[in-house]
C-alpha cells in the first residue's frame, strides 16, 4: 500500500541544458540557460547568449516560453533575453513574457523596452504584428516561493556570489521530484540547506591550474566567487542528490576529466559534466540523452 501511494505521488520532470558556458564565447558552450519542463509547463532559468538557438535545436519555439527566472544579473545569464523576447513576439507569442529575478530586473526590462522601441514600431507598422503582444513584465523576487501553480512549486534561495547581491539559486518541485539549480555561487551553506532531497542538482563549477592561480591575481578573484572541485565534493557529500550535473564550466588550464576525477576522489555518488543540449529525464530512473546537434 505504501509503495502504491509513493508511486501515485511520484512524477516526472525534464531538464534540458541549453547553455552550460560562461562569458567566454564558445560554440560548444553557450551562455547559461536551463529549461525545466514539468506537467506541460516550461520554465527557463537564465537566458544567456544563444538560448533561443538552443531552444530551436531542442524543438521548442520561443513563443512556448513565457516564464523566465533569472539567477542574477551578470551579462552571461541575461544577454539572450532580448532575442527570446522579440523573436518570441515575432513567433506570435500570445501571452506576455514574465521575467522574475533579483533587484535590478525592473531596470533591465525597462531598458530593453527602451532599446527595442524602434524595432517594435517598425515590425508593427510593416507586417502588422500586434505590438500589444510585445509585452514583457518584470517581477523582483525575494527568497521563498516565487511560483506555485498546477503542481509546480519554485523556490528562490540566496547563494554566495559577492559582490553580486542578491544572487539566487532555484528549487523546482513537481510531485515528489526535485531539481535544484545553483546559479553562480561559491560554496554556499544556504544551497546545501535548499538542495536536500534533490533528485537532480545542476551546479556550477570552476577550476584552475594552481601554478596559474599563483601568478594571476585577477584569476584568484574570479575563481573565488565560483565553486572549485573540493567545494563541489563538500556540497555533494552534504546533499547527496540522485544525480549531480555540472554547468557554467569555467576551467583554466585544467581538463574536464581532471575536474570530475578530483570530485570523485572525494564523493562516491553520481556526478557528471553537463553539456549543451543534454536532456535529463527525472522519474523513477534518471535518464540522460543528448539532443542531436544537427537540427
Instruction: Quote the least distance from Cβ 168 to Zn ion, whole Å.
Output: 11
Q: Give me the 186-225 binding string for Zn ion, x by CB under 5 A, dash otherwise.
A: ----------------------------------------
Q: Residue 70 CB, nearest distance to Zn ion (Å)?
A: 11
We find the least distance from the C-beta atom of residue 113 to Zn ion, in angstroms, to be 24
**265-294 mask for Zn ion (x: CB under 5 A)?**
------------------------------
Give the distance from CA 255 to its chain's centroid.
23
Contact at 8 Å (CB) between 198 and 180?
Answer: yes
* Beta-strand relationship, 33-38 and 13-19: antiparallel
Q: How far apart are CA 81 and CA 128, in angstroms?
A: 23
76 binds Zn ion (CB under 5 A): yes
Q: What is the DSSP letter of 28?
A: S
Looking at beta carbons only, is 14 or 76 nearer to Zn ion?
76
CA distances from 161 to 27, 95, 97, 186, 227 (A): 26, 33, 27, 6, 10
Cβ neighbourhood burial of 58 (10 Å; 0-12, 13-18, 19+): middle
* Residue 173 contacts Zn ion per CB under 5 A: no
Range in contact with Zn ion (rule: CB under 5 A) among 71-79, 82-90, 152-160, 275-283:
71-79
Segment interacting with Zn ion, rule: CB under 5 A, options 73-81, 99-107, 187-195, 216-224: 73-81
Q: Is the dihedral of CA 21, 22, 28, 31 positive or negative?
A: positive
Segment near Zn ion (CB under 5 A); pick from 97-105, 140-148, 178-186, 233-241? 178-186
Report angle CA 7, 195, 70 to the nearest 5 degrees: 110
What strands, in cross-sheet order, belong to the sheet with 41-45?
Answer: 136-140, 97-101, 67-69, 41-45, 33-38, 13-19, 278-282, 286-290
Q: Determine contact, residues 198/241, Cβ cutoff 8 Å.
A: yes
249 or 286: whose CB is closer to Zn ion? 249
Number of residues that bind Zn ion (CB under 5 A): 3
Q: Which stretch binds Zn ion (CB under 5 A): 184-192, 235-243, 261-269, 281-289?
A: 184-192
Task: Return the active site residues.
Answer: 76
Residue closer to Zn ion (CB basis): 152 or 164: 164
Question: Is residue 46 within the footprint of Zn ion (CB under 5 A)?
Answer: no
**Shortest CB 27 distance to Zn ion, Å:** 18
Residue 184 in the binding site for Zn ion (CB under 5 A): yes
Cα–Cα distance, 42 to 52 (Å, whole number): 14
Using CB under 5 A as the criterion, which residues of the chain lie in contact with Zn ion when the complex forms?
74, 76, 184
Amino acid at each position: 500500500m505504501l509503495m502504491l501511494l509513493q508511486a501515485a505521488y511520484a512524477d516526472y520532470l525534464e531538464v534540458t541544458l541549453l547553455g552550460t558556458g560562461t562569458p567566454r564565447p564558445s560554440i560548444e558552450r553557450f551562455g547559461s540557460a536551463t529549461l525545466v519542463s514539468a506537467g506541460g509547463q516550461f520554465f527557463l532559468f537564465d537566458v544567456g547568449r544563444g538560448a533561443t538557438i538552443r531552444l530551436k535545436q531542442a524543438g521548442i519555439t520561443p513563443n512556448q516560453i513565457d516564464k523566465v527566472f533569472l539567477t542574477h544579473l551578470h551579462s552571461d545569464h541575461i544577454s539572450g533575453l532580448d532575442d527570446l523576447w522579440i523573436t518570441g513576439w515575432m513567433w506570435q507569442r500570445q501571452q506576455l513574457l514574465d521575467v522574475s529575478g533579483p533587484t535590478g530586473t525592473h531596470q533591465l526590462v525597462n531598458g530593453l523596452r527602451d532599446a527595442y522601441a524602434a524595432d517594435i514600431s517598425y515590425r508593427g507598422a510593416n507586417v502588422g504584428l500586434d505590438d500589444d503582444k510585445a509585452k514583457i513584465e518584470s517581477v523582483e523576487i525575494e527568497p521563498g516561493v516565487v511560483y506555485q501553480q498546477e503542481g509546480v512549486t519554485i523556490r528562490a534561495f540566496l547563494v554566495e556570489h559577492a559582490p553580486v547581491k542578491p544572487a539566487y539559486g532555484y528549487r523546482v518541485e513537481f510531485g515528489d521530484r526535485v531539481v535544484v539549480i545553483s546559479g553562480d555561487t561559491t560554496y554556499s551553506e544556504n544551497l546545501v540547506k535548499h538542495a536536500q532531497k534533490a533528485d537532480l542538482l545542476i551546479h556550477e563549477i570552476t577550476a584552475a591550474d594552481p601554478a596559474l592561480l599563483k601568478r594571476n591575481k585577477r584569476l584568484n578573484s574570479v575563481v573565488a566567487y565560483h565553486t572549485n572541485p573540493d567545494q563541489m565534493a563538500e556540497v555533494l557529500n552534504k546533499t547527496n542528490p540522485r544525480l549531480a550535473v555540472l554547468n557554467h564550466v569555467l576551467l583554466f588550464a585544467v581538463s574536464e576529466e581532471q575536474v570530475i576525477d578530483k570530485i570523485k576522489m572525494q564523493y562516491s555518488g553520481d556526478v557528471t559534466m553537463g553539456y549543451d543540449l543534454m536532456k535529463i529525464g527525472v522519474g523513477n530512473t534518471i535518464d540522460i540523452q543528448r539532443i542531436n546537434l544537427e537540427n
